[in-house]
């Protein structure tokens, strides 16, 4: 299926440039929030498909989370996913590995961040921000 999509659409993403995924609420379903701090919920298969697709078309994938990287790596590597997760070197700026999923708790450069809490900033004023994040008051 991804082959067909690739042939019919010109993806506006650059091969060789990393894409960053948030963990909780994106990869980890996280349906009850932080709870006791454990990784208690199942993985989101739609996101895993997306990660696999992006990696197979040549985009390095990494996970950035405030969790300890070792915790995510241990969880990921128990799941029998298509590739292993490894810790990213804090000294290296750019993630280029398309054989592994990198894991870090440091912000690293990426052409896109996929996060359930993100607000895409495109120059909004305070008023526009408030309107984007409000509901109209009922009189």
Residues interacting with Mg ion, by CB under 5 A? 22, 24-25, 116
Smallest gap from Cβ 134 to Mg ion, in A, equals 22
Residues 35 and 126: their CA atoms lie apart, in Å, by: 33
Nearer to Mg ion, 69 or 98 (CB): 69
Residue 20's H or E segment, with its range, is: strand 19-21
Considering the complex, what minimum distance in angstroms separates the CB of residue 17 from Mg ion? 22
Please list, in sequence order, all residues whose beta carbon lies within 8 angstroms of the beta carbon of residue 67, skipping any fewer than 6 positions away: 23, 24, 39, 105
Rank residues 46 and 136 by Cβ distance to Mg ion and give the closer one: 46
Q: How far is the CB of 41 from Mg ion (least distance, A)?
A: 12
- Residue whose C-beta lies closest to Mg ion: 25
Cβ closest to Mg ion, residue 24 vs residue 72 = 24
Instruction: Return the closest-CA partner of residue 72 out of 100, 46, 52.
Output: 100
């Amino acid at each position: 299926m991804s082959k067909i999509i690739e042939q019919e659409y010109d993806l506006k993403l650059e091969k060789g440039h990393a894409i960053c995924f948030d963990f909780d609420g994106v990869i980890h379903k996280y349906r009850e929030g932080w709870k006791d701090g454990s990784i208690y919920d199942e993985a989101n298969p739609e996101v895993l498909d997306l990660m696999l697709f992006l990696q197979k078309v040549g985009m390095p994938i990494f996970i950035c989370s405030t969790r300890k990287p070792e915790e995510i790596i241990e969880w990921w590597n128990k799941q029998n996913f298509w590739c292993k997760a490894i810790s990213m070197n804090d000294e290296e700026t750019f993630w280029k590995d398309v054989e592994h999923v990198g894991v870090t708790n440091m912000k690293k450069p990426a052409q896109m961040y996929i996060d359930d809490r993100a607000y895409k900033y495109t120059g909004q004023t305070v008023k526009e921000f408030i309107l984007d994040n409000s509901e109209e008051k009922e009189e």
